[in-house]
Amino acid sequence: MKRYSLGIDYGTNSCRSLLIDLDNGAEVGSTVFNYPSGEMGILLDPKDPHVARQNPQDYLDGLESVTRGALEQAKTNVAGFDPSQVVGIGIDTTGSTPIPVNKDGTPLGLLPEFKDNLNAMVWLWKDHTGHAEAAEITKLGGEMRPNIMAKCGGIYSSEWFWSKILRLSRVDAKVFDAAFSFVEHCDWIPAVLSGNTDPLTLKRSVCAGGHKAMFSAEWGGLPDKEFLAKLDPKLADLRDRLYSEAHTADTKAGGLCTEWANRLGLKEGTAICVGAFDAHTGAVGAGIKEGTLVKILGTSTCDLMISPTSKPLADVPGVCGIVNGSVLPGYYGIEAGQSAVGDLFLWLVNHLVPDSYGKTVGEKFVNMEKAMEGQKPGATGLLALDWNNGNRTILVDVRLTGLLLGQTLHTEAHEIYRAYIEATAFGALTIIKRVEEYGVKVEEVVNTGGLSIKNATLMQIYADIIGKPMKVSQSEQTCALGAAIFGAVAAGAGTWQELQSKVTAIREKVYHPIPENVAVYRELYALYRTLHDAFGTAEWSGKINHVMKQLLDIRAKQS
């Protein structure tokens, strides 16, 4: 009998499904649900640009919509398809995206008394309101628990679990006190599907716990009460209502409960795996292995690498964590990334690109890419820092902002677009240099996400700047694909190694570095690192008066 697995990928603005044939990876059904609440699914506060929350009801409505949509497509696409052939369900989400819940595991945002309170809603990964709390955690962690801080790159982020919880305790005691516990989005959905939302017994993800909540068996789970009490006694009390165990994504979280089997049109008892973050399942769906860096190119980027637990691995300053089992069991997962890539390009088009490039966002992107054809590296005379949404790696500082240098009265929009592409590529190279400096060799880069498929100019620029061939995953939905793989493993349909070899592939087109471009970008990268270190680090000392004129010199050579 044919066997299928369903992956559900919860993104920043929408969720999508992917139903795959476990024999060959054929994608037989996929639909998208755009979150209806707020602005593109995000609940904002006009008084505070750092606020980014979501409505948990959107997650439930989306789950039903995309699952039924995928099943209907499969019935049309595959003769004889039956939903009973779906053996497993996998879930991936953004993170850290914690949800305040009551004792039953119901999100406070779904309760009538909190329906209009932003603080009771889901705290989306890109909520940066806890930046001061993150700095406080970093300082105290360095003093009291340097061994813990070393595993999360030495700096705690406002995007992560504890900074958000601490922030909530200070700005809204009523909501904090009403929250029996907090559950990551990636843990809550499998709990809902299995019918066990009890915060004390639902299965938690080691991916979420390890990368964002400083969880490790090495020091007994979550940070100890003494440390948490120094931040806030309420956090020490909360620790007892969180979790002491966390699991890899190949673990079965439970079977599909009766209610959700009926709502989704699937068989009761269908295996559900423990959830994980989107980038981590995306790495699995892209075929990650030792020596491979998987780059998920989306609104932001996540970079994932793995290293076998049988080998010693040094702590890497500035990364988003080194966690045993966060990507694959038996391997350390190493996460890094950039806070704005697609978001940065979209901001440019929405606010600065004139209508002469087109009337719609899509037309403007297409025509700017056409205008860049044949343009040589350095010919724009521009250099940018890609920090419009802060820096995730290697500086881990959300209070850094963007910079565009080298503008003249002749600068055009497509040249600024190219400078931003180059800036994100320079940021990517900075990450690679950091991990390689600490002994993690990057032999190949596999890219996934919409930008890697739709933007050939970007991919060639990345190849030229990084100096390595840029490969692209066959699937456009590697996050959902990786989730589906884990769902199948939880169902006993095979090992992750067997399934990954069957259902993942690389596209034929590979972007190879062009030697003459590599040479120019090497010069530009030296200037980028000067600006990066000058504006981003307290330790830097030197001069930057040469940067503008050197950009002009490089431009002159390329004209």
Identify whether the C-beta of residue 381 lies closer than 8 Å to the C-beta of residue 408.
yes
Domain presence at residue 501: no
Identify whether the C-beta of residue 92 lies closer than 8 Å to the C-beta of residue 482.
yes
Residue at 219: amino acid letter: W
Tell me which residue has tokens 């307290």.
538
Query: Within this chain, do residues 97 and 12 fall inside the same structural domain, yes or no?
Result: yes
What's the order of all strands across the beta sheet hosting 301-308? 322-324, 331-338, 301-308, 292-297, 444-448, 470-472
Domain presence at residue 468: yes
DSSP string, 56-73: HHHHHHHHHHHHHHHHHH
Q: What Å distances lie between residue 155 and 138, 147, 215, 426, CA to CA? A: 5, 12, 15, 21
Q: Tell me the two tokens of residue 125.
A: 């990964």
Query: Within this chain, do residues 293 and 273 fall inside the same structural domain, yes or no?
Result: no
Query: Within this chain, do residues 232 and 83 fall inside the same structural domain, yes or no?
Result: yes
Nearest-angstrom CA–CA distance, 219 and 233 = 20
Query: Within this chain, do residues 126 and 242 fall inside the same structural domain, yes or no?
Result: yes
Query: Within this chain, do residues 22 and 144 fall inside the same structural domain, yes or no?
Result: yes
How high is the pLDDT of residue 510? Answer: 96
| Residue 227 predicted with pLDDT over 80 | yes
Query: Within this chain, do residues 145 and 175 fall inside the same structural domain, yes or no?
Result: yes
How high is the pLDDT of residue 121? Answer: 98
Nearest-angstrom CA–CA distance, 522 and 435 = 19
Q: Chain-wide mean pLDDT for the chain?
A: 95
Q: For the chain, how many structural domains are there in total?
A: 2
Domain with 196, as residue range(s), is: 4-277
pLDDT, one tens digit per residue, over 511-546 is: 999 999 999 999 999 999 999 999 999 999 999 999
pLDDT bin (cut points 50, 70, 90) of residue 267 is very high
Phi first, then psi: what are they for 306, rounded to 5°? Answer: -130, 155
Q: What is the pTM of this model?
A: 0.88
Query: Within this chain, do residues 97 and 246 fall inside the same structural domain, yes or no?
Result: yes
Query: Within this chain, do residues 252 and 296 fall inside the same structural domain, yes or no?
Result: no
Query: Within this chain, do residues 250 and 296 fall inside the same structural domain, yes or no?
Result: no
| Residue 399 predicted with pLDDT over 90 | no
Query: Within this chain, do residues 143 and 53 fall inside the same structural domain, yes or no?
Result: yes
Tell me which residue has tokens 């690389």.
506
Residue at 9: amino acid letter: D
pLDDT, one tens digit per residue, over 111-152 is: 999 999 999 999 999 999 999 999 999 999 999 999 999 888
Domain final residue pick, 277, 302, 317: 277
Query: Within this chain, do residues 266 and 310 fall inside the same structural domain, yes or no?
Result: no
Residue at 536: amino acid letter: G
Residue 237 region by backbone torsions, left for phi larger than 0, else alpha for psi between -120 and 50, else beta: alpha
| Residue 482 predicted with pLDDT over 80 | yes
